[in-house]
Amino acid sequence: MIDFTKYNVLAVDDVPLNLLLVEKMLAKFKFRIRKASGGRQALEEISQEKPDLILLDLMMPEIDGFEVLRRVRENPETSGIRVVILSALNSTEDIVRGYQMGANDFITKPIIMEKLVNCVATQLQLL
């Protein structure tokens, strides 16, 4: 069994209720979860302390999730961070674009708790 308490996860979503739901769904892992309410704040959080995993919404004002993902992947210091997209965008084009830009997984909203839990556990085990 993996000790998840050593991991640092950044959840990014402009809807506070979505952040709360993700936090509650993942409470059993007991890792440190940080929250960012948009792309700009996410990039600031990442630069202050590199997370092990980013749970990233796509549709956000100012800086959207695709742009956050692009910047994370282009920066040599952050390019290896695991990124899981959590988004209501569910077209084939959006999903393919997410993977092409370097997402490690893509979960569509509404989020199914078991899928999120399994995905996060898998991503952290791959570290």
Q: Mean pLDDT by 10-residue block, N- to C-terminus, for the chain (127 residues)?
A: 90 97 94 96 98 97 97 98 96 97 97 96 93
- Quote the pLDDT of residue 3: 87
Q: What is the mean pLDDT of the chain?
A: 96
Report the predicted TM-score, pTM, of the whole model to 2 decimal places. Answer: 0.96
Taken in order 53, 41, 98, 90, is the CA torsion positive or negative? positive
- Quote the pLDDT of residue 48: 96
Class of 4-125 in CATH: alpha beta
- Quote the pLDDT of residue 2: 81
State the Cα–Cα distance between residues 109 and 88, nearest whole angstrom.
5
- Quote the pLDDT of residue 111: 95
